[in-house]
Amino acid sequence: MADSTLADPLPLAQALMRRPSITPAEAGALDVAQAALDALGFKTQRLKFGAVDNLYARLGAARPNFCFAGHVDVVPPGSGWTSDPFAAEVRNGFLYGRGAADMKTAIAAMIVATESFLAAKGPPDGSISFLLTCDEEGPAVDGTKAALAALKAKGETLDHCLVGEPTSEDRVGDTIKNGRRGSLNVVITMEGKQGHVAYPQRANNPVTAMVELATALKARKLDDGAPGFDPSNLEITTIDVANPAHNVIPQRATAKLNVRFNTAHSGESLIAWIEETAQRIAKARGAKAELQIASQSVPFYTEPGPFTDLVSQAVRESFGITPMLATTGGTSDARYIKDYCPVVELGLRNETAHMVDEHCAVDDVRTLARCYEAVLRKYFAG
């Protein structure tokens, strides 16, 4: 049930979800959040880079500066929904629509939690800020990453940050993400020489070199894990030749791979290893290898300590459970925030994120708002 002293985050969540802010379009979602923060006395500013609009809002000028961060952009809805994906319809206690889990509801909960905190405690002994982007589901270059650099150039400092990504598994509050693995996507092209299969001496089959390369890459054990992390893993996701003929040795073979890696590695060290291995095998086979880095994101890790303890205490107070710290899952904008301040992620269940009929329990959104309010209360209590 909603706390009688806390405003209901549902109307704000619905207002945000009714803006079809598919990456990188803001579509009025940032306007909704900005209006709500303006009403609370925040000093707001828009930071636009390329096609991406971002919002930074701050209440207070002193430190420490506690930041709520998240994104209002969503992935395309797809087809097959039982209701309009941007209608934010409530059915049987569940809120349906894009952003219900990931993560417009969390932004609404953050704003309502701040409103409740200010009503009860007044202005904090420090500052509260919000950093919201429209680029997390896209390239993530002109969003949080660019905004943080611009804010630093203006003299802004963040001391701690909580990101509202959907981190929970079985119950809301059961998981706090204090880290995420890095991700590296690589496209490898192996160039040989086309020819007739009956005369292999006149050709050079790139598939042979590619299979050997894939075997060599998979054979290496990357690590045994790192503090807070499971072992890194490399997966070959496709090998493509596009050869319709049975009697032709192809000229080219292409492979794609992904590495999910912990803090034992950097993207650069992994790229150097893959490059060296590819070139060595290509040379031995008389082929030519070329690598293209399709995308790269770095891992982040916040050491367990006072900040993670504080957020865990807020979860126990609000949800009545003890959360676990985890570093599983995909990437998030916390990988950029970690260069500026300690950061953790806490949000709703991730079970339906990016799915058709994405939804969440309305009561979970209300409890999450209470939890965020508890975080603020404990943080500014010292």
pLDDT per residue as tens digits for the range 204-215: 999 999 999 999
- The predicted pLDDT at position 330 comes to 85
Where does residue 287 rank: exposed (0-12), middle (13-18), buried (19+ CB within 10 A)? buried
CA 252 to chain centre: 35
- The predicted pLDDT at position 6 comes to 84
Read off the pLDDT of residues 251-296 as tens digits, 9 standing for 90 and up: 999 999 999 999 999 999 999 999 999 999 999 999 999 999 988 8
Read off the pLDDT of residues 160-192 as tens digits, 9 standing for 90 and up: 999 999 999 999 999 999 999 999 999 999 999
Determine which one of 102, 115, 135, 136 is catalytic: 136
- The predicted pLDDT at position 329 comes to 87
- The predicted pLDDT at position 184 comes to 96
- The answer to whether residue 136 is catalytic is yes
Q: How confident is the model at residue 4 (pLDDT cuts 50, 70, 90)?
A: very low
- The predicted pLDDT at position 3 comes to 47
Read off the pLDDT of residues 309-318 as tens digits, 9 standing for 90 and up: 999 999 999 9
CA distance linking residue 139 with residue 273, whole number of Å: 25
Q: Is the Cβ–Cβ distance between 54 and 105 less than 8 Å?
A: no
pLDDT reading at 47 higher than 70: yes
Mean pLDDT (whole number) for 55-60: 98
Compute φ and ψ for 22, nearest 5 degrees.
-75, 130
- The predicted pLDDT at position 118 comes to 97
- The predicted pLDDT at position 81 comes to 98
Give every CB contact of residue 11 below 8 A, 6+ residues apart in sequence.
none
CA 166 to chain centre: 9
Handedness of CA 313, 315, 317, 320 (dihedral sign): negative
CA 55 to chain centre: 18
CA distance linking residue 105 with residue 133, whole number of Å: 15
- The predicted pLDDT at position 136 comes to 96
Domains of the chain, earliest start first: 10-180+299-379 (3.40.630.10), 182-297 (3.30.70.360)
pLDDT reading at 2 higher than 50: no
- The answer to whether residue 240 is catalytic is no
Q: Mean pLDDT in the chain? A: 96
CA distance linking residue 240 with residue 251, whole number of Å: 12
β-bridge partners, 377 = none
User: Parallel, antiparallel, or unpaired for β 248-249 and 343-345?
Assistant: unpaired
CA distance linking residue 363 with residue 351, whole number of Å: 16
SS3 188: strand
CA distance linking residue 326 with residue 345, whole number of Å: 10
Q: How confident is the model at residue 5 (pLDDT cuts 50, 70, 90)?
A: low
Mean pLDDT (whole number) for 131-153: 96
How many other CB atoms are there within 10 angstroms of residue 312's CB atom?
21
Determine which one of 26, 53, 73, 345 is catalytic: 73
Read off the pLDDT of residues 85-104 as tens digits, 9 standing for 90 and up: 999 999 999 999 999 999 99
Read off the pLDDT of residues 330-373 as tens digits, 9 standing for 90 and up: 889 999 999 999 999 999 999 999 999 999 999 999 999 999 99
Entry pTM: 0.91
pLDDT reading at 1 higher than 60: no
